[in-house]
Amino acid sequence: MPESVQHQVILVGPMGSGKTTLGRRVATQLGLRFVDCDEELEKQTGAEVSLIFDIEGEHGFRERETRMLKQLLQQDRVLIATGGGVVTVAANRQLLKGTGTVVWLRTSVAQQLRRLSQDRKRPLLQTEDRRGRLESMAATRNPLYAEVADMEFCAGRRSLAQGAQALAEALENRMKAGSHE
């Protein structure tokens, strides 16, 4: 791993912003281990996130997510992809602010709709008005992403490879600049 890259990178942002897809590639490029918070939660519980939502509701899921986030933030040399709603819990925002480099992956609602057009698993997207739901979530969550983020990144219309390369370089540059202060 390049010496300039910090021990932890945490990706936050809305569903469909690339936290998992981009995160896997960036982790490889930076020599970090990739961990997806939702995937780890599913492994630990043996249940899909959608089932946890169905049985325990969003509140129960968020409690589990907070416990998982605490566990993951104890690890070193890791890139963590969080769930899109992780920032809705004040305790999670405090955890995120105190650890690693938090990157807000910004994306437009139009991009989310394109990327999530075939997705039928996400509990909060199970609605007739997906655009309305995503716009409402953005209005609520974007200020919270901004609150915890050390940096923002928008892949825009870049390919996955180009976006991953650009984010990896941005992280390396940030760490180099920070090591000279």
Q: pTM (2 decimals)?
A: 0.87
What pLDDT, on the 0 to 100 scale, is given for residue 50? 84
What pLDDT, on the 0 to 100 scale, is given for residue 125? 61
pLDDT block averages, 10 residues each, the chain of length 181: 60 90 94 95 91 90 94 93 94 92 90 68 65 88 96 86 93 75 47
What pLDDT, on the 0 to 100 scale, is given for residue 4? 35
Question: Rounded CA gap, 22 and 161, in Å?
Answer: 8
- Asked if residue 116 lies in contact with residue 108, where contact means CB atoms within 8 angstroms, the answer is no
What pLDDT, on the 0 to 100 scale, is given for residue 137? 86
Report domain 8-175's class.
Answer: alpha beta
